[in-house]
Amino acid sequence: MRFFAFLLVSVSLWGQGVEYVKGNYTKFEYLVPVRDGVKLFTSVYVPKEALNGASTTKYPIMMQRTPYSVAPYGVDKYRASLGPSEKFGKDGFIFVYQDVRGRYQSEGKWLEMTPHKPNKASAKDVDESSDTYDTIDWLVKNIPNNNGRVGMWGISYPGFYVTAGMIDAHPALKAASPQAPVTDLYGGDDSYHNGGLMLAANFGFYLFFKPHLEPTMPENFGRMNPFKSPDGYDVLLRAGTLANATEKYYKEANPYWLATMNNPNLNDFWKSRNIATHLKSIKPAVLTVGGWFDAEDLQGPLRVYRQIQANTPPASGNHLVMGPWTHGGFSRGDGDKVGDINFGSKTSAYYRDSIEFPFFAYHLKSKGDGKFPTAWAFETGTNQWRTFDTWPPKAAQQKKLYFHAGGKLSFDPPAETEGYDEYLADPNKPVPYVSYIHTGHSGFYMTSDQRHASTRPDVLVYESNILDEDVTISGPLTPELFVSSTGTDADFVVKLVDVYPGDLEDGPNNVKLGGYQQLVRGEPFRAKFRNSFEKPEPLTPGKRERVAFALPDVQHTFRKGHRIMVHIQSSWFPLVDRNPQKFINIPDAKASDFQKATHRVYRGKAGGSSIGVGVLN
């Protein structure tokens, strides 16, 4: 969802250039009618050769639908790039860009994550699936010299529209690529992660992403920092409670932000917006794309892939690509690093040239042999692409990393019968999620050095011995924590960390890689949701409770000479909103509700804490 700023400026980052596009394509603008009479603004770029009366070449259509504007508007104003990458614009396609219902120049009413209607009794029953179907039907009947094949792609929110368009798809839709798609806002995508509000990303986003009641032109979003300070940690902490922050920064009420505040539990509002539940019997070939270090929508592509795999005949062609990218990083730049971590090759260029383009070229132009693996996964640590027939790989053996006394971590079960580690958590002095000053939301946090957290008394640290061989972990991580608290609620943040040898030389830009603690994966869990996200329950002070959940997948090798580390903490600010550690509706909490609490994490043979992982030999 947080990809709109890139979409508005991406034309300057890569592409053929305005003069190339204008010299080789003719632009048209249409108001495409859909079944309920609403008209959707649509820009169409047709190869000039297709308009030559003597031409017999027919071109496939590549379409993107977006809530972030198809600008520039005007038939004499051209984009500087067409398609997912430069190869598409030079190979010859018809390119279509559409403002979705109720956004910018399109008519109708926009709904955030438009609920899908599986049963459409009349022409008034519309959703993004029907709008996509009707648009494709109009295009193949009205755009000259198209070959009757359509492909869709989109990143982030536009990725959601691809996912929705695959459901009950038009027969002409042959290939679809939801890329970093927003899929389930409550279930691990942009809004909530295991009951914890992703504060930094959402707070800034909804200050700019607002409704409009009639056709309008794009806004100038500027630098997107409303705080007038580079220190988002300080600004959001001083803003106090969510209620205070809303009052201070949202004087002009934004219904999208208010909906997030008014629905902190899983309910029908969120369930109706989970597009993944409708992914059944998908007909187009699908290439779902995600990034291991996507701070916005890491869970979305994994969930789309799994839902299709579980509910669609295998002959349709369901593929997954997971690379070492931040949100949408595969679509631009080299993809050779994230933050301080270098991957040794141009992974984004490889994806665009060797995966994405061949996929669409085969399904839309019958080029190539179409022999694609089920999954491409870039393995961090060893920095290599790997392909698999299934995802997660069948060869991954399920093992557990156990917590031991003295902060030890091992695949060996503990010998002690029972023990615990404890820490005092103060929500008014939360653990920062990065060690550096940032305006609020940094996508680079997902590879960042964790040494700032390891030294804090409110972070439990468990660390393995130095590894005498490589250990490759593949698939989801499944913590099973046994905990207690002196409070009636608590967050438990679980982080998996790769500890580098201490004798490494400095990396680029004088990064101190000796002893670097690279975050591999981390997620929060709000304990009141331990039994149900729909019906939260308070913790009983002092009572031992089980907290079990899943972290998004990884494909990472801890190299020989490294160590495996796990952090357990109860705040991660301002990435995640603060838990008062009191059973309360947090958006309504007062400053006096935020209290210190002591949390225990239990170890031992019976009922001891661990993290389940898949290990590839």
pLDDT of residue 226: 63
Please indicate, yes or no, whether residues 332 and 442 belong to a single structural domain of this protein: no
Please indicate, yes or no, whether residues 444 and 346 belong to a single structural domain of this protein: no
**Where is pLDDT greater, at 473 or 249?**
473
Residue 249: pLDDT over 90 = no
Segments forming the whole domain that contains residue 529: 397-616
Residue 152's identity, in one-letter code, is M
Q: What is the mean pLDDT of residues 467-493?
A: 98
Residue 286 φ/ψ, nearest 5 degrees: -125, 130
Q: Are strands 25-33 and 471-485 parallel, antiparallel or unpaired?
A: unpaired
Return d(Cα 85, Cα 69) in angstroms, integer: 19
Per-residue pLDDT tens digits for 92-150: 999 999 999 999 999 999 999 999 999 999 999 999 999 999 999 999 999 999 999 99
Residue 172: pLDDT over 50 = yes
Q: Is 609 helix (H, G, I), strand (E, B) or coil?
A: coil
Return d(Cα 506, Cα 132) in angstroms, integer: 51
Last residue of a domain, one of 347, 366, 388: 388
Please indicate, yes or no, whether residues 359 and 470 belong to a single structural domain of this protein: no
Confidence of residue 248 (pLDDT cuts 50, 70, 90): confident
Q: What is the mean pLDDT of the chain?
A: 94
The least confident of 44-53, 163-172, 471-480, 572-581 is 44-53
Please indicate, yes or no, whether residues 354 and 408 belong to a single structural domain of this protein: no
CB 606 within 8 A of CB 543: no
- Cα–Cα distances in angstroms (integers) from residue 165 to residues 16, 158, 441, 444, in the given order: 28, 11, 30, 31
Confidence of residue 8 (pLDDT cuts 50, 70, 90): very low
Please indicate, yes or no, whether residues 345 and 403 belong to a single structural domain of this protein: no
Q: At what angle do helices 128-142 and 157-166 cross, to 10 degrees?
A: 80
Q: Is 192 a domain residue?
A: no
Last residue of a domain, one of 355, 388, 421: 388
Q: Is 26 a domain residue?
A: yes
Last residue of a domain, one of 365, 388, 411: 388
Q: Is 480 a domain residue?
A: yes
Q: Is 255 a domain residue?
A: no
Please indicate, yes or no, whether residues 453 and 338 belong to a single structural domain of this protein: no
Q: Is 283 a domain residue?
A: yes
Q: Is 562 a domain residue?
A: yes
Per-residue pLDDT tens digits for 481-504: 999 999 999 999 999 999 999 999
Confidence of residue 1 (pLDDT cuts 50, 70, 90): low
Please indicate, yes or no, whether residues 311 and 362 belong to a single structural domain of this protein: yes
Q: What is the mean pLDDT of residues 23-29?
A: 96
Q: Is 28 a domain residue?
A: yes
Q: Is 251 a domain residue?
A: no
Cis peptide before 115 (omega within 30 of 0): no
Please indicate, yes or no, whether residues 445 and 361 belong to a single structural domain of this protein: no
Please indicate, yes or no, whether residues 438 and 365 belong to a single structural domain of this protein: no
Number of structural domains (the chain) is 2
Residue 35: pLDDT over 70 = yes
Q: What is the CATH number of the domain that holds 506?
A: 2.60.120.260
Please indicate, yes or no, whether residues 431 and 570 belong to a single structural domain of this protein: yes
pLDDT of residue 16: 74
Q: What is the mean pLDDT of residues 411-426?
A: 95
Q: What is the CATH number of the domain that holds 176?
A: 3.40.50.1820
Return d(Cα 500, Cα 558) in angstroms, integer: 9
